[in-house]
């Protein structure tokens, strides 16, 4: 029953997380809404406050002490976390050459290491109950990668692999694991991506080798997001539906394009799939002096 289950959601103050917060506070679940300390005022702006079944807590997912404190409080007061929704995430826009080790680790810390640490903390309680739900908001970027988003896709690919292993590991205890995969969503999310010093300079300076990558990909992504029919609210509905399914699947495409890309990966030979996506990149014939006014044909090495 909803009234007997505790939900912990990360990154609940904006975007998809905020949409889930609004939806969850209208249910009978006991809910922990968490966000970084400096973001907590957003709940007031959206008239979301604490109640008997709703607690708002600061949580920087990269902070081990804060992760441990929130799970300990849930264990003490509400019998533990029954449903963990890993939603917090960040995105860096940079080609591989423009991401140094510090920036790469920062991306992985938020999107991969921290949700896996939260999962590790809640699993003992779920195993003891022989029940539980772990739902992580992944991305279409976890099934396919785009240029200038290498570190982001790496973090989501890592999430996908770890959750697939987890699905097998905890199934004997009745714990259900699901990855919700949004594609392009109509929101201002594209404005919140982070640039590295090198990627920011490359986008702004014409003489930079990767300049065309950035100046074409940035408006392309913005245009696709603005034209998408998917919204944070529609993704939130998919998450809630997944929470309530008796046997939720491991992977849940949450938008039409996520379903479409998943289908393409299954039906097309791998070399054809990558060639097709390359041809779809905006003005790709202008990218780099070695590829100017040329296109790449499908390889003939038999790769599938």
Q: What is the mean pLDDT of residues 11-25?
A: 96
Among the options 139, 156, 195, 273, which is catalytic?
Answer: 156
Among the options 29, 32, 152, 195, which is catalytic?
Answer: 152
Q: What is the mean pLDDT of residues 155-169?
A: 97
Does the pLDDT value for residue 190 go beyond 80? no
Task: Specify burial of residue 290 (Cβ count, 10 A radius: 0-12, 13-18, 19+).
Answer: exposed
Rounded-to-integer distance, Cα 26 and Cα 107, Å: 33
pLDDT band for position 187 (50/70/90)?
confident
Q: What is the architecture of the domain spanning 2-286?
A: 3-Layer(aba) Sandwich (3.40)
Known catalytic membership, residue 195: no
Strands 54-58, 30-35: parallel, antiparallel or unpaired by DSSP? Answer: parallel
Known catalytic membership, residue 156: yes
Does the pLDDT value for residue 301 go beyond 50? no
Task: Specify burial of residue 197 (Cβ count, 10 A radius: 0-12, 13-18, 19+).
Answer: exposed
Known catalytic membership, residue 262: no
Q: What is the mean pLDDT of residues 254-263?
A: 92
Q: What is the pLDDT of residues 193-222, one digit of tens each?
A: 999 999 999 999 999 999 999 999 999 988
Among the options 39, 91, 114, 138, which is catalytic?
Answer: 138
Each domain of the chain, given as residue ranges in start order, spans 2-286
pLDDT band for position 2 (50/70/90)?
confident
pLDDT of residue 191: 67
Task: Specify burial of residue 292 (Cβ count, 10 A radius: 0-12, 13-18, 19+).
Answer: exposed
pLDDT band for position 9 (50/70/90)?
very high
Does the pLDDT value for residue 270 go beyond 70? yes
Quick one: angle between helices 114-129 and 64-78, nearest 10? 20
Known catalytic membership, residue 192: no
Rounded-to-integer distance, Cα 107 and Cα 104, Å: 5
Rounded-to-integer distance, Cα 213 and Cα 147, Å: 8
The pTM of the full predicted model, rounded to 2 decimals, is: 0.91
Does the pLDDT value for residue 62 go beyond 50? yes
Q: What is the pLDDT of residues 78-135, one digit of tens each?
A: 999 999 999 999 999 999 999 999 999 999 999 999 999 999 999 999 999 999 999 9
């Amino acid at each position: 029953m909803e009234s007997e289950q505790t939900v912990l959601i990360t990154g609940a103050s904006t975007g998809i997380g905020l949409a889930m917060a609004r939806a969850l506070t209208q249910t009978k679940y006991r809910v922990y809404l968490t966000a970084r300390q400096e973001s907590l005022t957003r709940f007031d702006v959206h008239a979301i406050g604490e109640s008997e079944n709703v607690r708002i807590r600061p949580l920087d997912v990269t902070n081990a002490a804060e992760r441990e404190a929130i799970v300990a409080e849930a264990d003490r007061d509400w019998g533990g976390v029954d449903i963990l929704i890993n939603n917090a995430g960040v995105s860096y826009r940079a080609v591989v050459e423009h991401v140094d080790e510090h920036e790469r680790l920062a991306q992985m810390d938020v999107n991969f290491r921290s949700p896996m640490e939260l999962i590790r903390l809640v699993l003992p309680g779920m195993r003891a109950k022989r029940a539980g739900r772990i739902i992580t908001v992944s991305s279409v970027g976890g099934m396919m990668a785009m240029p200038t988003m290498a570190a982001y896709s790496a973090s989501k690919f890592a999430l996908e692999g770890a959750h697939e292993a987890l699905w097998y590991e905890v199934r004997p205890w009745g714990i259900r694991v699901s990855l919700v995969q949004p594609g392009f969503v109509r929101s201002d999310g594209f404005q919140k991506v982070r640039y590295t010093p090198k990627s920011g300079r490359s986008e702004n300076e014409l003489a930079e080798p990767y300049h065309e990558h950035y100046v074409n990909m940035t408006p392309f992504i913005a245009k696709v997001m603005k034209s998408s029919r998917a919204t944070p609210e529609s993704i939130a509905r998919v998450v809630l539906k997944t929470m309530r399914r008796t046997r939720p699947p491991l992977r849940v495409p949450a938008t039409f394009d996520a379903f479409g890309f998943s289908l393409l990966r299954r039906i097309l030979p791998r070399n054809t799939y990558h060639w097709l996506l390359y041809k779809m990149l905006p003005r790709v014939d202008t990218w780099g002096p070695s590829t100017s006014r040329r296109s790449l044909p499908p390889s003939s090495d038999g790769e599938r």
